[in-house]
Amino acid sequence: MKYTLILFLFLLIACDSNQIVEDKAKANIELASQYFTEVYNKDNIDLIDELFVENYHHTNTEGRTFSSRDELKSAVKRIEALLPNLELNIEEAIADDEKVIFIIRMQSDLPKIASQTTKANKTSFNEIFVFWINNNKIYKGRSIGAHLPFVKQVSGFEGGLIDLIKTISETRDTLIK
């Protein structure tokens, strides 16, 4: 009887702690989602002050880092200036009690830098974002982007990676000759 009671208490505590982790994971997704749904899609850049710690640290696809909310705001402004009518959509999100991982679909009208030969009329590509959260604030982030689709859309290159390499190689050869 004594061991049955101990086992019951252990299972009860384990279930409670699992529920706590699940609740925290859900809260983390809700908190971090606001970065995409409100900062970008509703142009509420000041929300960054509420969502992120002052010395927020971020590393992007190229390995560049920055360490403040002000630098994050500057990055958001540069991205929005480059990509007209930018819209971010959360494709997937998964979280635990410390971090959230998102797959984000970024779509926009073609930027001014687009080639006149492109057949695309919009840009559309994915980014993966990882945010670490503590005390309801995002303190660290990482973004990893699949920029080849973006490059293809604005440059006019068609096909897959092999086609792109072939096109660049041929263009390079004609420039050298």
Mean pLDDT of 10-19: 58
- For 5, other C-beta atoms within 10 Å of its C-beta total 9
Correct CATH for 2-161 of 3.30.465.10, 3.90.600.10, 3.10.450.50, 3.40.50.300: 3.10.450.50
Distance, CA of 94 to CA of 96 (rounded, Å) = 7
d(CA 56, CA 138): 7
Angstrom distance (rounded) from CA 26 to CA 1: 38
Cα 22 → chain centroid: 22
Largest CA distance in the chain: 89
Report DSSP state, residue 1: -
Mean pLDDT across 84-102: 96
Chain segment 101-113, per-residue pLDDT in tens: 999 999 999 988 8
> Does the pLDDT value for residue 174 go beyond 60?
no
Tokens of 60: 């992007």
Q: What percent of the chain has a predicted confidence (pLDDT) above 70?
A: 82
Domain ranges of the chain: 2-161
- If one compares 69 and 20, the residue with the highest pLDDT of the two is 69
Question: Between 68 and 166, whose confidence is greater?
Answer: 68
In degrees, to the nearest 5, what angle opens at C-alpha 57 toward C-alphas 51 and 62? 120
CA-to-CA dists, residue 55 to 34, 45, 123, angstroms: 19, 17, 32
* Residue 110 and residue 123 in contact, taking contact as beta carbons nearer than 8 Å: yes
Tens digits of residue pLDDT in 62-85? 899 999 999 999 999 999 999 999
Judge whether residue 177 has pLDDT over 50.
no
